[in-house]
């Protein structure tokens, strides 16, 4: 039985792929399987007449009056013998605890599946439909409707008695009903009505479109998409109706709700059932086709279509033809479509078969892709939905993909996918490598073999290398460079390469690869020997990296022959490892290479190779004459006689001239320039460099009978030698080319010299004056003195131990200058009091000069005596005792020496004699000039004095007071 069911299920799946749709590459939206187990057993003896679906179970009615409760797998869980005739309809409430059944003999039963609650009634006419309230479990919702020739509403009253009321009659048999919430929709021969249980009002009437179709043969299909959207399918017409609330102002005597048809369209086939699928519709269609042979109609396989409804048309998304049992004998009324709202499950019910359609999941999608050999898409889908797939594994899909590519001969693509699919699974890697070896495609997989994590067995890598060594030397060399040396047994590969070199000993690719293998094996000397033989650039890198300088002492010529520049740089950078002497000795038989080495050594350091400078003269003369003269100029260790001999032997004039001039024989050098080179410009340049008058004289004497030389001299001699010396010696009548231009240039050069000298003179005078003023300002500043300083003229101490000096300015008030020392301070540290207005109270001498030996307790250490007049001088203005003022210009003497006549007025003669030299000089600088008041080093113009009294031009204040 089970095997038969499996064969039937397989035939159903195969049947959905027939006709034009099965040829299409478009993936189906639904998958199908027969409901087997108990259903198969039931339908072998009976025929299905109706079915209803709950999330938890199924209820199947038969033509023999039986009702079976089934699980979702089709197993029978309960059986009810309701009648002996056809069960027309079964209804379940949302809880699945109450069921209503009606039959062709007029019986109606409503009972609880898990309780003793039950209602029985037998009518005198067939009852076609029944629908219990969705919330029948509630005591307030004990309602159900039945329909035959009229639609009856049964309600249980408060005394548990049932009462019925007629909702509609007179329009033929009622053949379809659906209850959702408070709305009941039913269809009779005339159309579709909707009744509102809450308001007890019928709110709409949707008339039937095609009245030519018999209602009993092509019944109406009703389906609630949600609580306000009703889908009506009748004949070939589909209508989507929306129940809407009416505005309060529009109600009057009208129902509170109304229905609006939001979409209406026609289909190609007769509709047997409808169900919603998200925003789309699932439509079960009855198909009649015309035979080409007999030209008669016959029943074709029913179709299950998914369509996208639009306002006036629809778009077909998918369409599947189903091979159900006995479809050739079925009519449109024999098919029913039921759906489970909890899951996207659709049950196609026919008298002899029940087929379940469900949405395809990711596993189904992958199955279809694999069936179509779309492995890349299947692998991608599995990776994206890795958490949702249950029947497939990414690895299995990947391996199938690799095998598929190998079968197609796409070896490179298959090998590339191995890297992604096999990942770190070493066992699978090795298995795939052996598969590639069997088909002779190790080369294809070699670039993708893992080199780190994981690491395969060394045999795998050696096997791959041998494959390349037999047929592709370049590929072999590439793998050796790219693969780490620890992946394989290095000695095994070395032996294999040596074996091939016996056949082809000059193969550069194999030799280079062997050198790399030696390097991996740390046999650096053998590797270096190969690199030098091949003149390979990696030789220098190998020497530096592994410090192989001891191995190249006898290979210097090879290195120089290969790349002299790199070799010389390396040798000079490592003089501590290979001495200069060793290099020169090794290159003795190759003087051209010896010159390259010594030349670069000389450019780096003139002193290191000084012992070879004599040898270098010959080397430069032989191999590099352009650098001979620079060498002679820069070297101070080359023998000049030897160099001169070589240059004269080879007739090197420029070098000979330089050597003669360096040896002091400038005249011979000049003679060679003029006689052998006959180059006046070089002769003039040489004379300029030597700056010797006798050379100029020789040059003039040699040039006096040669007009071209005279022209050159006239153009260049003006700035070094007096041109008159040349002009006077020119013979009268001699034709000199460009004489006028030469004379004009001489005059221009002379004028330019005059202008330059005058400019230099002006600059010199200006700089001298600026420096003189700067020196004068510096000397005018105060200096720091101490007790030990003495006057250089009189040899007296510059600072006495203590003194108080009154000074009288051209004002009638007395000014006292007090210089004292602070007790406890070091000698020579002057302390001065600041400017003060109160009168001086110090004792006075008979002549009006105040002398005091008092020492104020505070002092400023390290200050210049006259550096800050405000802190070094105290000005006291006693109002009563005028000081004695000597006459202006009176000559005073101190110690028999005359004093300058420009000592400031008001300083008594005796006080002037007592002043130290430095203080006296400072006071002399303070003499006020016309229109200015002086104090210290600052000058205050009269315009700055206000609001104080303005000073007069003679230096006195207008109120006879000091500014």
At 100, the pLDDT band (50, 70, 90 cuts) reads very high
Question: How many Cβ atoms from other residues are within 10 Å of residue 213's Cβ?
Answer: 16
Distances (CA, A) of 759 to 209, 753, 754, 764: 121, 10, 9, 9
Q: Is 497 or 292 the better-scoring residue by pLDDT?
A: 497
Q: How confident is the model at residue 801 (pLDDT cuts 50, 70, 90)?
A: low
What stretch of H or E contains 275? strand 270-277
Quote the pLDDT of residue 888.
Answer: 36
- pLDDT given for residue 641 in this prediction: 87
In this prediction the pTM is 0.55
Residue 133's contacts (CB-CB under 8 Å, 6 or more residues apart) are: 93, 141, 142, 143, 144, 179
525/87: higher pLDDT: 87
SS3 290: strand
pLDDT of amino acid 800:
66
Q: What percentage of the chain exceeds 90 in pLDDT? A: 31
Nearest to 47 by CA among 59, 35, 58, 39: 39
Beta partners for residue 231, in sequence order: 223, 240
Query: Rounded CA gap, 963 and 957, in Å?
Result: 7
Range ranked top by mean pLDDT from 346-355, 473-482, 830-839, 945-954: 346-355
| Residue 486: its H or E element | none
**What share of the chain has pLDDT > 70, as a percent?**
79
Segment among 164-178, 669-683, 735-749, 927-941 with least mean pLDDT: 927-941
pLDDT at 12: 52
pLDDT at residue 297 is higher than 90: no
Task: Extract long-range pairs of 649-652: CB within 8 Å, 24+ residues apart.
Answer: 650/621, 652/621, 652/625, 652/628
- The mean per-residue pLDDT over the stretch 670-697 comes to 78
Q: Which residues contact 739 (CB under 8 A, 6 or more apart)?
A: 711, 714
Give pLDDT, residue 306. 94
Q: Which two tokens stand for residue 745?
A: 């240039």
Q: What pLDDT shows up at residue 813? A: 42
Across 615-629, 829-843, 873-887, the highest mean pLDDT is recorded for: 615-629
Residue 921, helix vs strand vs coil: helix
Contacts of 545-552 with C-beta under 8 Å, sequence gap 24+, read 548/524, 549/574, 549/577, 549/578, 550/577, 551/524, 551/525, 552/528, 552/578
* Mean of all residue pLDDT scores within the chain: 78
Mean pLDDT over 435-456 rounds to 88
pLDDT at 215 over 70: yes
Residue 209 pLDDT exceeds 70: yes
pLDDT in the model for residue 788: 78
CA 185 to chain centre: 64
With a cut of 70, say whether residue 94 has pLDDT above it.
yes
Confidence band of 24 (pLDDT split at 50, 70, 90): low
Inform me whether the pLDDT recorded for 169 exceeds 80.
yes
pLDDT beyond 60 at 958: no
Residue 821 pLDDT level (bands cut at 50, 70, 90): very low
Assigned token pair, 629: 């003269």
- Please say whether the dihedral angle defined by the alpha carbons of residues 728, 734, 737 and 740, taken in this order, is positive or negative: positive
What would the pLDDT profile of 700-716 be if each residue is shown by its tens digit?
777 777 777 777 777 76
Does residue 115 carry a pLDDT above 80?
Answer: yes
The reported pLDDT for the residue numbered 935 is 39
The mean pLDDT value for 719-736 works out to: 71
φ and ψ at residue 454, rounded to 5 degrees: -90, 170
For residue 897, pLDDT beyond 50: no
Mean pLDDT of 791-815: 59
User: Residue 87 pLDDT more than 90?
Assistant: yes
CA distance 176 to 222: 7
Higher-confidence position of 714 and 46? 46
Kindly report which listed range (228-232, 278-282, 312-316, 654-658) carries the lowest average pLDDT score.
654-658
Which tops the pLDDT comparison, 782 or 102?
102
pLDDT tier at 912 (50, 70, 90 boundaries)? very low
pLDDT of residue 520: 86
Distances (CA, A) of 433 to 76, 221, 302, 447: 54, 62, 52, 12
Per-residue pLDDT reduced to its tens digit, 234-292? 999 999 999 998 887 766 778 888 899 999 999 999 999 999 998 999 999 999 887 77
Confidence check: pLDDT of 834 > 50: no
On the 0-12 / 13-18 / 19+ scale of CB atoms within 10 A, 57 is: middle
Residue 68: both structure tokens together:
């079976």
> Does the structure show a pLDDT above 60 at 649?
yes
pLDDT at residue 836 is higher than 90 = no
If DSSP states are collapsed to H, E and C, what string results for 321-358? ECCCCCHHHCCHHHCEEEEECCCCEEEEEECCEEEEEE
Dist. CA 464–CA 446, nearest whole Å: 7
Q: Determine which of 85-99, 173-187, 693-707 has the lowest per-residue pLDDT on average.
A: 693-707
The answer to whether residues 370 and 383 touch, using CB atoms and an 8 Å cutoff, is: no
pLDDT of 8 higher than 70: no
């Amino acid at each position: 039985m089970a095997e038969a069911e499996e064969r039937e299920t397989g035939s159903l799946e195969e049947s959905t792929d027939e006709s034009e749709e099965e040829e299409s590459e478009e993936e189906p939206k639904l998958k199908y399987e027969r409901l087997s187990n108990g259903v198969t057993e039931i339908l072998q003896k009976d025929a299905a007449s109706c079915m209803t679906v709950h999330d938890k179970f199924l209820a199947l009615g038969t033509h023999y009056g039986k009702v079976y409760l089934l699980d979702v797998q089709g197993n029978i869980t309960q059986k009810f013998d309701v009648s002996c005739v056809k069960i027309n309809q079964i209804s379940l409430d949302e809880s699945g605890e109450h069921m209503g059944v009606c039959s062709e003999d007029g019986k109606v039963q409503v009972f609880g599946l898990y309780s003793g609650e039950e209602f029985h009634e037998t009518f005198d006419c067939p009852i076609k439909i029944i629908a219990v309230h969705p919330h029948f479990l509630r005591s307030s919702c004990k309602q159900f409707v039945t329909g035959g020739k009229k639609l009856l509403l049964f309600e249980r009253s408060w005394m548990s008695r049932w009462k019925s009321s007629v909702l509609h009659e007179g329009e033929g048999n009622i053949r379809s009903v659906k209850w959702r919430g408070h709305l009941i929709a039913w269809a009779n021969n005339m159309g579709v009505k909707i009744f509102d249980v809450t308001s007890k009002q019928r709110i709409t009437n949707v008339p039937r479109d095609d009245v030519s179709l018999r209602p009993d043969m092509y019944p109406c299909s009703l389906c609630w998409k949600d609580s306000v959207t009703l889908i009506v399918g009748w004949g070939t017409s589909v209508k989507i109706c929306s129940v809407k609330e009416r505005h309060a102002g529009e109600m009057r005597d009208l129902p509170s709700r109304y229905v609006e048809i939001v979409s209406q369209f026609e289909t190609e086939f007769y509709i047997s059932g409808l169900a919603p699928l998200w925003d789309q519709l699932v439509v079960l269609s009855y198909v009649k086709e015309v035979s080409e042979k007999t030209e008669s109609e016959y029943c074709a396989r029913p179709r299950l279509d998914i369509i996208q409804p639009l306002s006036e048309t629809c778009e077909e998304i998918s369409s599947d033809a189903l091979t159900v049992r006995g479809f050739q004998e079925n009519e449109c009324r024999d098919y029913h479509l039921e759906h489970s709202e909890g899951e996207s499950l659709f049950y196609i019910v026919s008298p002899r078969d029940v087929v379940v359609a469900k949405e395809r999941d990711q596993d189904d999608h992958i199955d279809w892709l694999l069936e179509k050999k779309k492995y890349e898409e299947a692998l991608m889908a599995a990776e994206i939905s890795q958490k949702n797939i249950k029947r497939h594994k990414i690895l299995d899909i990947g391996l199938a993909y690799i095998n598929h590519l190998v079968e197609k001969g796409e070896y490179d693509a298959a090998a590339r996918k191995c890297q992604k699919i096999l990942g770190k699974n070493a066992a699978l890697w090795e298995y795939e490598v052996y598969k590639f070896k069997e088909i002779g495609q190790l080369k294809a997989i070699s670039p993708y073999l893992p080199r780190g994590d994981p690491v395969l067995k060394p045999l795998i890598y050696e096997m791959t290398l041998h494959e390349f060594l037999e047929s592709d030397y370049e590929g072999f060399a590439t793998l050796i460079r790219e693969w780490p040396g620890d992946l394989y047994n290095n000695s095994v590969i070395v032996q294999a390469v040596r074996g091939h070199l016996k056949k082809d000993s000059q193969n550069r690719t194999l030799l280079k690869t062997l050198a790399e293998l030696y390097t991996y094996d740390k046999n650096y000397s053998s590797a270096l020997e190969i690199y030098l033989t091949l003149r390979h650039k990696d030789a220098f890198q190998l020497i530096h990296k592994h410090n192989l300088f001891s191995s190249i002492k006898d290979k210097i010529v090879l290195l120089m022959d290969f790349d002299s520049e790199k070799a010389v740089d390396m040798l000079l950078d490592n003089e501590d490892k290979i001495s200069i002497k060793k290099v020169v000795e090794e290159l003795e038989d190759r003087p051209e290479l010896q010159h390259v080495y010594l030349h670069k050594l000389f450019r780096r350091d003139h002193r290191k190779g000084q012992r070879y400078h004599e040898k270098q003269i010959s080397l430069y003369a032989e191999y590099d004459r352009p650098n001979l003269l620079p060498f002679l100029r820069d070297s101070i260790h080359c023998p000049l006689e030897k160099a001169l001999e070589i240059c004269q032997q080879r007739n090197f004039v420029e070098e000979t001239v330089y050597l003669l001039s360096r040896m002091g024989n400038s005249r011979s050098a000049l003679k060679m320039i003029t006689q052998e080179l006959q180059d006046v410009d070089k002769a003039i340049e040489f004379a300029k460099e030597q700056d010797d008058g006798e050379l100029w004289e020789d040059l003039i004497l040699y040039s006096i009978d040669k007009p071209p030389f005279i022209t050159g001299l006239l153009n260049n001699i003006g700035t070094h030698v007096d041109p008159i010396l040349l002009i006077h010696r020119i013979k009268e009548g001699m034709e000199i080319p460009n004489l006028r231009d030469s004379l004009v240039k001489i005059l221009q050069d002379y004028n330019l010299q005059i202008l330059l000298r005058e400019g230099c003179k002006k600059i010199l005078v200006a700089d001298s004056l600026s420096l003189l003023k700067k020196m004068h300002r510096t000397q005018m500043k105060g200096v720091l003195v101490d007790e030990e300083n003495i006057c250089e003229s009189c040899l007296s101490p510059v600072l006495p131990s203590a003194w108080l000096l009154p000074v009288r300015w051209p004002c009638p008030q007395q000014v006292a200058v007090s210089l004292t020392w602070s007790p406890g301070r070091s000698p020579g540290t002057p302390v001065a009091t600041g400017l003060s207005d109160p009168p001086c109270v110090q004792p006075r001498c008979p002549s009006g000069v105040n002398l005091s030996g008092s020492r104020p307790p505070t002092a400023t250490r390290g200050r210049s005596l006259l550096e800050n007049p405000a802190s070094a001088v105290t000005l006291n203005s006693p109002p009563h005792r005028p000081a004695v003022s000597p006459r202006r210009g009176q000559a005073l003497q101190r110690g028999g020496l005359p004093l300058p006549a420009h000592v400031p007025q008001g300083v008594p003669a005796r006080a002037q004699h007592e002043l130290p030299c430095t203080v006296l000089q400072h006071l002399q600088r303070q003499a006020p000039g016309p229109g200015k008041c002086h104090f210290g080093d600052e000058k205050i113009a009269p315009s700055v004095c206000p609001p104080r009294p303005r000073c007069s031009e003679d230096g006195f204040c207008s109120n006879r007071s000091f500014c």
